[in-house]
Each structure stands twice: as structure tokens, then as C-alpha cells.
């Protein structure tokens, strides 16, 4: 009704400076005095309508200067009908009472009374204010009917005014209900968004704790190797200097790698902010807490997923290289989580193409499924929190992760991990 043109008032989309072409939307969404320009312009037009009725009556000689002043005062008060609806309704009622006391009878600018009534019903914090405003408006209609000369009895005029007041009141109530419903939906959406962000942060924190625990196991293993080799150096230094020198080299290399893993471990525990926000949270890990898989277990891992229903083809380019234990664990987890996501979302019977491309300074893990499967009965074993875990693990080693749908309807995951200059220390060499 009154607000039919203004729609949502001040809730135009955030981001008007980011994409709408032309001047129209940018001007409409600007703020003036803390209010949207669209709503301010509409309220100014409403006030201008009341001013027009007040001045036209005065210029036509139908009203005096005092009556015109009352109409202009009503128009000025209506400008604040959104922010202070109850106060505006009270002031307009007081000005209308002045009109009744002066005996001027109904005038054309009395449309301001209906506008104020509508605003109180729609915008007031409590509906009780709208009920009081409706009762006052009905009483005002009765007084206006008593002051209206005519052949018809006064009660017919009062009934006519009451019908108009009732229609305006019901229109305001209807739009008030709609406005409160929209507000409740917005609050619910905001709450769900906050909960989703909290769950994502909790998943990231849990995955970082898991990564830190696994890196701690890697460092502890390296320290154990160093102790064993150092003891070997002490006992073979005099009898076999060549073996002692080789063992000392293993101690030094293992120590450097352990120091690098320790730095990564500290970096994980500090929980640095990452720009990416995890898009999903998968099932929790099903493996023992202190188990550290290796790349030699990949065939067994692929067999388990094939038994679960995936059709996996494995290939790659380049010759596999020995990796540091932490980086080897990351590659294993990326493969595991990629296949887990394929089984969960593509379904049983989906085809997955897994490739490991070994370059001079990078290893690229790529898993592409066709999305052509059926829903799984039981969730597949997971090593962490899906894309959250892959993103965190790859980030620890300064790698990059890309995940998204393919044109064929499937899903593609690709992780690129840089290799150290001298990749890793083989456990077999460490035990020599």
C-alpha cells in the first residue's frame, strides 16, 4: 500500500559498488543520514504529497493559514515515520486533535493520519502501539463525522471512516508480518552461516592437531635413527672409519630433515591464518591415532577402495623418488582423501583416474572421477577432514591444491607439492 514502491526500504544488496552497470542502482543504494537513499526519497515524496494538499487548500481559499500550518507540520513529522513510528503517530494525532478543536472538519491533508497509522502498525516495535493508534484513528473518524455537514446521518460517515481506517490497519499488519518474517529468515541465515564457520574452524583446528601429531611422530622417528647411528659411529670409529663416516653422514642428514620437520610442526601449532575457507567437512578419521602410512602402502589402499566399489586406474609420469617422511605422509593422505571423496560423492561404481606425476622439483597428485556412481551404503575410511585436511597438509609444505567439478559432471582434485633439493632420507639407509 503506502510502502508498495519502496519494497525493502534499506535492505538493498550489499555490493552495489561491485557489479551493477550504470548510475541507477548505485544511486539508489547510497546512504544519506544513515538511511538508504531509496527510502529517504520515498518518504520525501510522501511528505510532499501532504504538503501539496495543505498548500492547495490554502491557495484555493478552503483553509486558513493556521490550518495550512497544521498540515505542513504533519508533513514534516511524517519524514521520520520509519525511525520513530510511535512518536510520529502521537504527534500527528495531536495535530489532528487541534484540527478537531478548531472545528475545521475533515481536510484533504488528513491523509497524513492514515499514513501515520500505517507506519505505526508496520514499523513499531510492539503491535500494541498499532492497536492504540487504530483505536485513536477510529475515534478521530467519529469526531470528523460529527463535524461533517450533510444530509446523511453522522453514523454513516463514522462507519465510512472506520472502514477506511480498518483497511489501512490491516494492510499495515499484513506488511508488518511479512517484514518480521523476512527479518527472521535473515537472522536464521546469519546464524547458520556463523555455525558453519564455527564448524569449519573446529574442523581445521582438529586437522591441524592431527597433522602436528603425525609430524611429531616423524620427528621422533628421525631422532631415534640419529641416536642409533650415533651409537654406531662410536663403536665403529676405530675399527671401520669408512662405515663410521657414512653413519655420521646419515646422522647429519637425518638431523637436518628432523629440524625441517620440527619447523613445520611449530608452524602448524601456531595455526597461521590461511586465505582459503574450507568448503566441506567430511567424516572423521578411522585409522589408529599413531599409525603412519607410507607410499609403499598405496597398492593396498587402492585395493581397499576397489573393494568398496570404485573403479580405479592408476598411472603417472616420471620416476618415483624417496621423500622425507612428512612429505610422504602428505602424498599418501591426499590420495586417500581424494578417493574417499570420490566414493562418498560420486558413489559406488564411479571411475577414478589417479595419476602421480614426478618432476624434477614437484610431485603432482591428480584424482578425477566421472561422477557416475550410486550412493554408498557405508562411508569410506578417511584420513582426516576431506578437503580441509588436504588443504592444510598441502599448505604445510608450501604446495597448492585445486578442487572443483569437471565439465563431464565429475570432480577433480589436484595437489602440487614441491620436492626438497635432496629428497628425504630413506629408512633403509638410515638403518644401515
351-358 and 311-317 beta bridge pairing? parallel
Let me know whether 254 and 304 are in one domain.
no
What integer pLDDT is reported at residue 284 of this predicted model? 35
Query: What single DSSP character describes residue 133?
Result: H
Let me know whether 252 and 351 are in one domain.
no
73 within domain boundaries: yes
Burial class (CB in 10 A: 0-12, 13-18, 19+), 289: exposed
Band (pLDDT 50/70/90 cuts) for residue 353 is very high
Beta-bridge mates of residue 64: none
What residues contact 375, with CB distance under 8 A and at least 6 apart? 347, 348
- Of the candidates 115, 149, 183, which is a domain's last residue? 149
Let me know whether 262 and 299 are in one domain.
no
Domain that holds residue 26: 16-149
Strands (E), 10-98: 31-32, 35-36
Residue 335 has pLDDT above 70, yes or no: yes
- Rounded CA-CA distance 95/73 in Å is 8
- Mean pLDDT score, 202-210: 75
Let me know whether 204 and 138 are in one domain.
no
425: CATH: 3.30.565.10
Cell of 432: 644401515
Question: What are the strands of the beta sheet with 411-418, ordered from one edge?
Answer: 311-317, 351-358, 362-369, 411-418, 400-405
Per-residue model confidence as pLDDT tens digits over 256-310: 767 666 666 666 565 554 444 433 333 333 444 445 567 888 888 888 888 777 8
Q: What is the Cα 72 distance to its own chain's centre? A: 47
- Rounded CA-CA distance 53/6 in Å is 22
Band (pLDDT 50/70/90 cuts) for residue 415 is very high
Residue 204 has pLDDT above 50, yes or no: yes
Per-residue model confidence as pLDDT tens digits over 15-25: 333 443 343 44
- Rounded CA-CA distance 73/67 in Å is 10
Residue 364 has pLDDT above 90, yes or no: yes
209: CATH: 1.20.5
- Rounded CA-CA distance 190/394 in Å is 31
Let me know whether 233 and 339 are in one domain.
no
- Of the candidates 90, 118, 149, which is a domain's last residue? 149
Query: What single DSSP character describes residue 105?
Result: -
Per-residue model confidence as pLDDT tens digits over 145-174: 887 766 567 778 788 888 988 899 998 889
What integer pLDDT is reported at residue 22 of this predicted model? 42
Residue owning grid cell 601456531: 270
- Rounded CA-CA distance 82/77 in Å is 11
Band (pLDDT 50/70/90 cuts) for residue 33 is low
Let me know whether 20 and 145 are in one domain.
yes
Amino acid at each position: 500500500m503506502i510502502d508498495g514502491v519502496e519494497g525493502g526500504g534499506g535492505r538493498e544488496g550489499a555490493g552495489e559498488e561491485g557489479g551493477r552497470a550504470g548510475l541507477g542502482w548505485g544511486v539508489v543504494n547510497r546512504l544519506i543520514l544513515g538511511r538508504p537513499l531509496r527510502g529517504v526519497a520515498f518518504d520525501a515524496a510522501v511528505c510532499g504529497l501532504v504538503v501539496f494538499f495543505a498548500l492547495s487548500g490554502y491557495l484555493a481559499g478552503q483553509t486558513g493559514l493556521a490550518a495550512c500550518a497544521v498540515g505542513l507540520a504533519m508533513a514534516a513529522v511524517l519524514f521520520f515515520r520509519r525511525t520513530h513510528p510511535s512518536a510520529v503517530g502521537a504527534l500527528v494525532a495531536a495535530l489532528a486533535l487541534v484540527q478537531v478543536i478548531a472545528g475545521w472538519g475533515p481536510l484533504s491533508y488528513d491523509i497524513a493520519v492514515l499514513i501515520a497509522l500505517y507506519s505505526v502498525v508496520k514499523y513499531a516495535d510492539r503491535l500494541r502501539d498499532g492497536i492504540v493508534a487504530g483505536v485513536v484513528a477510529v475515534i478521530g473518524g467519529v469526531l470528523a463525522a460529527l463535524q461533517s455537514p450533510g444530509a446523511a446521518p453522522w453514523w454513516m460517515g463514522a462507519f465510512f471512516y472506520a472502514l477506511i481506517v480498518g483497511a489501512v490497519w490491516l494492510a499495515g499488519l499484513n506488511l508488518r508480518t511479512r517484514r518480521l518474517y523476512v527479518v527472521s529468515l535473515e537472522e536464521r541465515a546469519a546464524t547458520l552461516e556463523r555455525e558453519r564457520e564455527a564448524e569449519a574452524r573446529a574442523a581445521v583446528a582438529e586437522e591441524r592437531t592431527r597433522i602436528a601429531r603425525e609430524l611429531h611422530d616423524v620427528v621422533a622417528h628421525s631422532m631415534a635413527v640419529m641416536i642409533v647411528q650415533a651409537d654406531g659411529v662410536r663403536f665403529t670409529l676405530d675399527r671401520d672409519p669408512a662405515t663410521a663416516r657414512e653413519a655420521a653422514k646419515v646422522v647429519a642428514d637425518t638431523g637436518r630433515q628432523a629440524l625441517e620437520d620440527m619447523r613445520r610442526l611449530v608452524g602448524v601449532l601456531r595455526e597461521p591464518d590461511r586465505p582459503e575457507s574450507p568448503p566441506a567437512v567430511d567424516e572423521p578419521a578411522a585409522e589408529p591415532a599413531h599409525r603412519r602410512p607410507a607410499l609403499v602402502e598405496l597398492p593396498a589402499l587402492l585395493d581397499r577402495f576397489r573393494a568398496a566399489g570404485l573403479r580405479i586406474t592408476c598411472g603417472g609420469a616420471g620416476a618415483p623418488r624417496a621423500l622425507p617422511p612428512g612429505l610422504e605422509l602428505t602424498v599418501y593422505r591426499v590420495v586417500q582423501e581424494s578417493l574417499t571423496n570420490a566414493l562418498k560423492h560420486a558413489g559406488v561404481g564411479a571411475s577414478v583416474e589417479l595419476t602421480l606425476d614426478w618432476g624434477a622439483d614437484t610431485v603432482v597428485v591428480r584424482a578425477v572421477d566421472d561422477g557416475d556412481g550410486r550412493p554408498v551404503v557405508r562411508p569410506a575410511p578417511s584420513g582426516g577432514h576431506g578437503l580441509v585436511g588436504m588443504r592444510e597438509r598441502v599448505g604445510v609444505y608450501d604446495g597448492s591444491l585445486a578442487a572443483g567439478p569437471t565439465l563431464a559432471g565429475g570432480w577433480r582434485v589436484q595437489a602440487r607439492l614441491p620436492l626438497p633439493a635432496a629428497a628425504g632420507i630413506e629408512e633403509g639407509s638410515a638403518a644401515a
